[in-house]
Amino acid sequence: MKYFIFIFFIAAIVACTEPGSKNLPPASGLTGDIFLIMDSLQWKGPLGKTLDSIFSAEMEGLPRKEAIFHMRWIDPRKLNFVLKQRRNLIFAVTLDQATTGARQIRATFTPESLEKIKADPSLFSQNARDVFAKNQEVLFLFGQTEAELLKHIRANRSRLVEYFNLRERERLTASLFKAAQPKGIAPMLTKEFNCELKIPFGYQLVQQEPDFFWVRQINPYNDKDIFIARKKYTSQAQFRKDSLIAFRDAVCKKYLFEDPDRPDTYLVTETTVPYKPVLTREINFNNKFAVEMKGLWKTNNLTMGGPFISFALVDEPQGVLYYIEGFIFSPGKDQRELIRELETILYTFKTSNEITPAQP
């Protein structure tokens, strides 16, 4: 997505806040919350409905319906000091609206920025950080007319969502690894698996085999698991969905028991629910080709289940296919942010030629 840098535009917004980020309060709010500031008339019309449908769409790969983000609308006339400090804000406005709310948003623009928007209909977005609070993300969406802005938003819907997904992942990365990582795990992965994965404090090593690694964090509310499996890379066909599911099921049957005392129970991929299919897509994983897979898992005796997210990628120098996964057991509870947390951890994975050199 193109983020157009208007120095004069950002200066106009920042000028309304405390001078300098050091004087700003910390951003508030929950992970996954987005506050949309726009005129009430446009919120109730096609523009508001389109933005709400994009960010409130169902998150894929979860057992229950949960929105990708929790979208909340704020009338510009009610945008107070507290609401300005929320972690994710979107301001949306078009020049063809003469309502009070639209005029109030446009009043934050300099005359020069308004002239730029009038002169170039291709301009429609601008992102900024730490506008009203520290660690805050603000996205401005604008256009000459509502029809033009709608066209741009619909054409970039997936990129708009991914933009905030990336920002939330950045925040989670900073918070998850504030504390020291569990001792011994990182050196073991480097030595035995020729890879790197940051493990947050609180996770414990469950099992280590020549081609399998499993860590886990159990608390009264959920069970979060991460594992790495590997095998020789032979062809691109190993990235097909059926091949990945077969490899996952073989690994789970061999190592992931529901009850360690009952080896006849194990985890399998749920492929029998038509409205909850296993989904795969090709992605850029830290500048590497990878296939992301999302879906549900269950035990073969149907006593447990939950969502998982995984990535398959190749370490070319080693000729090894890595399969890395995070899965959750948290029955009856919301699981969107748990999956987002596991996704964040998985994105710290590095292959042999990317491993951070050991500190002397």
Which residue from 234, 197, 227 is spatially nearest to 212, judged by alpha carbons?
227
End-of-domain residue from the set 152, 176, 200: 176
Query: For the segment 55-88, what is each residue's pLDDT rounded down to a tens digit?
Result: 999 999 999 999 999 999 999 999 999 999 999 9
Per-residue pLDDT, averaged over 154-179, amounts to 94
Per-residue pLDDT, averaged over 194-204, amounts to 94
- 153/241 same-domain check: no
- 16/148 same-domain check: yes
Query: For the segment 208-228, what is each residue's pLDDT rounded down to a tens digit?
Result: 999 999 999 999 899 999 999
Query: For the segment 39-63, what is each residue's pLDDT rounded down to a tens digit?
Result: 999 999 999 999 999 999 999 999 9
Cα separation, 125 vs 5, whole angstroms: 9
Per-residue pLDDT, averaged over 19-32, amounts to 81
The CATH number for 131's domain is: 3.40.50
- 191/285 same-domain check: yes
Whether 359 has a pLDDT exceeding 90, the answer reads no
DSSP alpha helix (H) spans, the chain: 7-14, 40-44, 46-55, 100-106, 111-119, 146-155, 157-176, 185-188, 241-255, 336-346
Q: Angle at the Cα of 230 (from 227 to 232), degrees rounded to 5?
A: 175
The CATH number for 251's domain is: 3.40.1000.10
End-of-domain residue from the set 132, 157, 176: 176
Q: Which of 7-21, 234-248, 269-283, 319-333 has the lowest mean pLDDT?
A: 7-21
With contact defined as beta carbons under 8 Å apart, do 336 and 61 qualify? no
Q: What is the token pair recorded at 29? A: 């709010």
Cα separation, 236 vs 76, whole angstroms: 52
- 161/264 same-domain check: no
With contact defined as beta carbons under 8 Å apart, do 255 and 212 qualify? yes
Whether 176 has a pLDDT exceeding 60, the answer reads yes
The DSSP line for 180-223 is: PPPTTHHHHIIIIIS-B----TT-EEEEEETTEEEEEEE-SS-E
Q: What is the token pair recorded at 227? A: 């594992």
- The confidence score (pLDDT) of residue 6 equals 38
Domain of 231 in residue numbering reads as 185-354
* Residues written for the chain: 360
Cα separation, 350 vs 296, whole angstroms: 25
Query: Is 359 a member of any domain?
Result: no
Per-residue pLDDT, averaged over 161-170, amounts to 94
Per-residue pLDDT, averaged over 124-148, amounts to 92
- Count of domains forming the chain: 2
- 252/210 same-domain check: yes
- The confidence score (pLDDT) of residue 260 equals 65
Whether 141 has a pLDDT exceeding 90, the answer reads yes
End-of-domain residue from the set 145, 176, 207: 176
**What is the DSSP-derived secondary structure letter of residue 258?**
S
- 158/207 same-domain check: no
- The confidence score (pLDDT) of residue 11 equals 41
Per-residue pLDDT, averaged over 108-114, amounts to 83
Q: How confident is the model at residue 258 (pLDDT cuts 50, 70, 90)?
A: low
Query: For the segment 282-306, what is each residue's pLDDT rounded down to a tens digit?
Result: 999 999 999 999 999 999 988 899 9
Cβ contacts of 160-166, under 8 Å, gap ≥ 24: 160/1, 160/54, 160/55, 161/54, 161/55, 161/57, 161/68, 161/69, 162/1, 163/1, 163/127, 163/139, 164/34, 164/55, 164/69, 164/88, 164/137, 164/139, 165/68, 165/340
Q: What's the number of CA atoms in the CB half-sphere (13 Å) around residue 63? A: 20
Cα separation, 8 vs 250, whole angstroms: 57
- 168/218 same-domain check: no
- The confidence score (pLDDT) of residue 9 equals 45
- The confidence score (pLDDT) of residue 132 equals 92
Which residue from 40, 140, 142, 25 is spatially nearest to 86, judged by alpha carbons?
25
- 152/246 same-domain check: no
- The confidence score (pLDDT) of residue 13 equals 42
Q: What is the token pair recorded at 215? A: 């860590």
- 11/147 same-domain check: yes
Query: Is 24 a member of any domain?
Result: yes
- The confidence score (pLDDT) of residue 4 equals 39
- The confidence score (pLDDT) of residue 358 equals 65
- The confidence score (pLDDT) of residue 2 equals 38
With contact defined as beta carbons under 8 Å apart, do 349 and 193 qualify? no
- The confidence score (pLDDT) of residue 355 equals 87
Per-residue pLDDT, averaged over 25-33, amounts to 94
